[in-house]
Structure 1
C-alpha cells in the first residue's frame, strides 16, 4: 500500500488473521497505534515507548472482535504523542496530511486513522477519544466519528491517557459502515427516533454565525421536533472545560509519571509542559473539578430522561493551517474543548457527521443518553 499521507506507522507487515465472512467482511481496518496488535509494537506516538515496546504477542480484544467480524487489518496508524493533543502533529513521526485540504491540520489525536479513511486507504478507522480525539479529526476530514458510551467497548490492550475519559472510537466515511461496526461490537438496539432535538443556544453562539445557521436549518429538516434552550445545565461552558482539563491533566500525569520522572527528555516540549501542569495541580482543584463533573452528569441524566438528543457543533472554530503558530494551535484546542468536553464529563455518546452540500468543515454532532448510540445513527439517517 502506498501511503503518501503519512497515515500509517512504517512497521513491517505481520499476518493478522480475519474471518472470511462476517458483518464487516470486505472492509479494511486501520488501527491507532495505541492498541496492541500481535506481531507489531505499540509506540503511542513516542519514540522511547517504541524502543521499549517489543513485539506484542496478543491483540487488543476490541481489535480482535473487529477482525473476527470480517474486517481486514491493514496497519497501525500515526497518533499525536501519548494521544495527548487535538492537532495531529508528532515530532517523532511527523504530521499526517489532511486529504481534504493539505494546508490544514488533520486533527488528532487519532490523526492517522482519520486520514487513512479520508484518503480511501481504509473503511474503518479505529481510534481513541479522550477530549475529542475521534470527533475532531472526523470533523476536520469530513467523516462520521463515534465516541461511544463510556465503558461500553472493551479497552484492554489499549494504552491509557486519562482512564475516566478514555474510550475507543470509530471513524467511517459512510453511515452504513458505522451502523455495521456498532452491531459488530454489540451495541444494543435503539429507538427509531427521540421525542425532540434540543439546540443549546450557548454552544451555537460560540461558532461562526453562517455555519450555525446552516446547522440549524439542517436540523429542522429531520422531521423531529426541534426546540431551543439557553443552556443544558447550570454550569457555563468555561466552567465545564476547566473542570475537564483539570481532571484530564491529573490523570494524564498519573498515567505517564513513571516514564516522565525517569526520562523527561523523551517528550515533545508541549507534551512535557502539559504533563508538568498535571503534576502541579493541588488536591482541592482536582476535588472541585470532580464535583463539577458529578453535578453535570446528574443534570444531563435528568435532561436525557425527557427522551431528547442534543445537537452540538463538532468544532468551535475553523481548523488552523498545519504551519501556523503554537499559539494558534492552543487557541483552537481550547475553543473546541469547551464543546467536546460535554461527552467526556457525562460519559454519554456523541456522533459527529458532516453536513452535505456545505463547503468547509461544517460538522454537526448528536449527543445522547448512555447506551443510545444506535439511536444517534437513526437520527442522522433522517438528515443525510
Structure 2
C-alpha cells in the first residue's frame, strides 16, 4: 500500500481473516490503533505502550463483527497519543496528512482512520469518539461520521480514555455505506421519522452568520418540519463544555495514571499536561460537573420526548493549519468542544455529514434521542447527502 498520507501504523503485515461473503463484502476496513487485532500490537499512539504491548492473540469483538460481515482488514491506523486530542498530531508517529488540504490538520484523535477513508485507502474507518474524535475528523475530511448511542456497541478489546464518554464509531464516504454498517453491527433498519427538526439559536450563533443561514435554509428545503428554540438547555454552552472537560480530564487521568506514574517523560508534554490537570481537580469541581451532566441529560430526555431531531453545525470554527501554534490548537479545541460535548454529556447519537449549501459544502450534524441512530439516518437521507 502506498501510504503517502501517514494514515497507517508501520506494522509488519499479519493475516487477518474475514468472511468470504456478507453485507460488508468488498469493503476495506481501517482500524484505529486502540482496538486489539490478532497478530498486531496495540500502541494507542504511545511508544512505551507499543514496546509493552506484545502481539495480540485476540481481536476486539466489534472488529470481529465487521470481519464476520465480510469487511477486509487493511491495517491499524495512526491516532493522537492516548486518543487525548482533537488535532490529529502525534509526537511519536507523526501527524497524518489531510488529503483534501495538506496544509490543514486532519483532526483527531481518529486521524489515521479518517485520512485512510478520505484518501481512498479504506472504505470503513473504525475509530473512537470521546469528545469528538469521530465527528471532528469526519467534518474536516468531508466524510460521514457516526457517533453511536453510548453503550450500544461492544467496547471489549478497546483501550479506554474516559469510559463514561468513550464510544466506538465509524467514518465512511457515503450514507449508504454507513447504513450498511449500522445493520452489520446490530442497529436494525427502521423508517422512523421525527415530528420535526429543531434549530437551536444559541448553537447556530456560534458559527458565521452566512454559513448558519445556508445550513438552516437547506434544512427548511428538505420537506421536513422545522421549528426553532432559543437554547438546548438551561445551562449555556460554556457551562456544558466546562462540565464535560472536567469529567473528561478526571476520567482520562484515572485511565492513564499507571502509565504516567511509571514514566511520565514517555508521554508528549501537552498530553501529560492535560493528564495532570485531571489529577489536580478538586473533588467539588468533579461533583458539580457530574451534577450538571445529570441535569442536562434529563433536559435532553424531555426534549426528545417531543420526537425531534436537533440540527447543528459539526464544528464551531474552521480547522487550523498543521503548523499553527499550540495556542491556536487550544483555541480550536476549546471552541469545538462547546458543540461536540452535547452528545457526550447526554449519551445520545450524532450523525455528521457534508451538507451542500449556498456557500459550498459544510459539515452538519443531527443529534437524536438515545437509540434513535436509525432516525438520524432517515433524516440524513432526506437531505440528499452522501
TM-score (norm 2): 0.98
Counterpart secondary structure, 2:318: coil
Q: CA contact under 8 A between 2:28 and 2:74: conserved in structure 1?
A: yes
Match of 1:383 in 2: 383
Match of 1:196 in 2: 196
- Cα distance between partner residues in 2 of 1:111 and 1:342: 21
- Cα distance between partner residues in 2 of 1:345 and 1:103: 32
What stretches of structure 1 move > 4 A for 4+ residues in a row? 357-361
- Cα distance between partner residues in 1 of 2:51 and 2:280: 29
Q: 1:88 to 1:359 in 2, by over 3 A?
A: farther
Shift of 1:190: 2.9
- Cα distance between partner residues in 2 of 1:188 and 1:239: 35
| Runs of at least 5 residues in structure 1 that lack an aligned partner in the other structure | none
Match of 2:158 in 1: 158
Match of 1:259 in 2: 259
Match of 2:174 in 1: 174
Counterpart secondary structure, 1:114: helix
Map residues 178-327 of structure 1 onto 2, 5 A cutoff: 178-327=178-327
Q: CA contact under 8 A between 1:29 and 1:74: conserved in structure 2?
A: yes
Q: 1:25 to 1:358 in 2, by over 3 A?
A: farther
Shift of 1:209: 1.2
> CA offsets per residue over residues 244-303 of structure 1, 9 Å max, x none?
000000000000001101100001110000000000001110000000000000000010
Counterpart secondary structure, 1:362: strand
Counterpart secondary structure, 2:356: coil
- Cα distance between partner residues in 2 of 1:333 and 1:187: 31
- Cα distance between partner residues in 2 of 1:363 and 1:187: 24
Q: CA contact under 8 A between 2:218 and 2:357: conserved in structure 1?
A: no
Shift of 1:222: 1.7
TM-score (norm 1): 0.99
Match of 2:85 in 1: 85
- Cα distance between partner residues in 2 of 1:226 and 1:194: 10
Shift of 1:357: 6.0
> Is residue 361 of structure 2 the alignment partner of residue 346 of structure 1?
no
| Runs of at least 5 residues in structure 2 that lack an aligned partner in the other structure | none
Q: CA contact under 8 A between 2:215 and 2:357: conserved in structure 1?
A: no
Count of matched residue positions in the alignment of Structure 1 and Structure 2: 384
- Cα distance between partner residues in 2 of 1:276 and 1:175: 40
Shift of 1:361: 6.4
Match of 1:138 in 2: 138
